[in-house]
Amino acid sequence: MYYFDHSATTPPFNEVTDTVLEVMKNYYGNPSSLHQFGIDAEQLMRRARHVISESLDVNGEQLIFTSGGTESNNMAIKGVAFQYQNRGKHLITTEIEHASVYESFKQLEQLGYQVTYLPVNHTGQVSIEDLQNALTDETILVSIMHVNNEVGRIQPIKKIASLLKKHKRIFFHVDAIQSIGKIPLYPEEWGIDLMSVSAHKLNGPKGVGVLYYRKGIKLFPLLSGGGQEAGYRSGTENVPLIVGMAKAIRISMDKQKGNLEHLYRLRKKLTDFILQIPELKLNGSVDPEHMAPHIVHFSFTGMKSEVIVHALEKKGIYVSTRSACASGESKASRVLKAMGTSENNANSGIRISMSAEHSVEDIDTLCNQLKQVVHDYKGFTK
């Protein structure tokens, strides 16, 4: 079995499942309870906070535990939009954001906010100039993803952050869900105000995530109740998953540096292969420095993506079409269309997302099978 859908989700580390099980069994106290069981659970939470903040190189007080990436993104965007609406009602994002960001902005439009969706070039990159031109006196939030979940394009977050530093009234949110644990990102140092992370994208449990927010920012809470998480996210904390997430983030960040070179080697092998096959078209930038090391996206022109997914599945190879969350849709990919890809190509996208556990031989196998599939199906393209 060859699993190449790590951008959809990753298998949890064994160390993580062990941790979750042990905490669930032995530390079931409510962290808000007064007695020892409560204190034990609270201690675990505090330590998890500490471990995560050390790993992400941020201040530990400014972390909100959430139910995952979607909630982190919603909380950042709506939290800022609602809290600071008196300052202005203009928001900026891009056309290629994940649905949890994109749809949040669509909702805010219905509530009377004005949203600028920045275009991207054919490689999937946002232009700093466009961003600069879009800024107005009414702008309160810019939300731009670090690594695109579909094609793997990296956005120039550091440059954007330094541009926005000159605009003290504007908050900068980064959806780092596909990048944390894969490529370097220094939220505090670069001046990122809010950053979303999801545990299951880096071999942690599903159903848990974290939102980092810079000191001094206030967020309008989306969930009201007992006032957990400094009042920003009420609800009894999911201690086992939070502790499991801390472990997954720590391990991933420890490994990140060592994995980077290996992943880029795998990526190069795969892209070199794709560039040789005339029926396949590589999406994103050809410069590997612009691309996340673990994601490769290409189109088999004229062939419906789903057909390829199933053809490879028969051979024990698991890939995806684009964002797993949107796979059910029959419409062409919004991201590919934003990159100026033709409707035909946008309907034919395949995403390969790797992990550092993969070997060069695994990629060889993938390439051979892919070659076979292209050979078998090229007669059926539209």
Residues 107 and 104: their CA atoms lie apart, in Å, by 5
Q: Which of 49, 18, 15, 43 is nearest to 29 (CA)?
A: 43
Shortest CB 363 distance to another protein, Å: 31
Q: What are the distances in angstroms from CA 334 to CA 98, 216, 268?
A: 10, 35, 26
Residues 220-259 that bind another protein (CB under 8 A): 243, 246-247, 250
Q: Which of 299, 304, 374 is nearest to 335 (CA)?
A: 299
Using only the alpha carbons of the chain, give its radius of gyration.
21
Tell whether residue 43 is a contact of another protein (CB under 8 A).
yes
Residues 278 and 262: their CA atoms lie apart, in Å, by 27
Shortest CB 207 distance to another protein, Å: 18
Bridge partners, residue 298, by sequence:
282, 350
Tell whether residue 22 is a contact of another protein (CB under 8 A).
yes
Q: Which stretch binds another protein (CB under 8 A): 19-27, 160-168, 216-224, 356-364?
A: 19-27
179, burial (CB in 10 Å: exposed 0-12, middle 13-18, buried 19+): buried
Nearer to another protein, 19 or 320 (CB): 19
Residues 294 and 355: their CA atoms lie apart, in Å, by 6
Q: Which stretch binds another protein (CB under 8 A): 29-37, 98-106, 201-209, 354-362?
A: 29-37
**Pair 178, 353: CB distance under 8 Å:** no
* 3-class SS of residue 338: helix
Residues 51 and 136: their CA atoms lie apart, in Å, by 39
Tell whether residue 61 is a contact of another protein (CB under 8 A).
yes
The catalytic position among 325, 326, 377, 381 is 325
Tell whether residue 364 is a contact of another protein (CB under 8 A).
no
Among 51, 80, 108, 366, binds another protein (CB under 8 A): 51
Among 25, 35, 166, 314, binds another protein (CB under 8 A): 35
Question: Is position 325 annotated as part of the catalytic site?
Answer: yes
Nearer to another protein, 142 or 251 (CB): 251
Residues 122 and 318: their CA atoms lie apart, in Å, by 27
Nearer to another protein, 173 or 250 (CB): 250
Number of residues counted as binding another protein (CB under 8 A): 17
Shortest CB 353 distance to another protein, Å: 27
Binding site for another protein (CB under 8 A): 19, 22-23, 34-36, 39, 43-44, 47-48, 51, 61, 243, 246-247, 250
The catalytic residues are 325
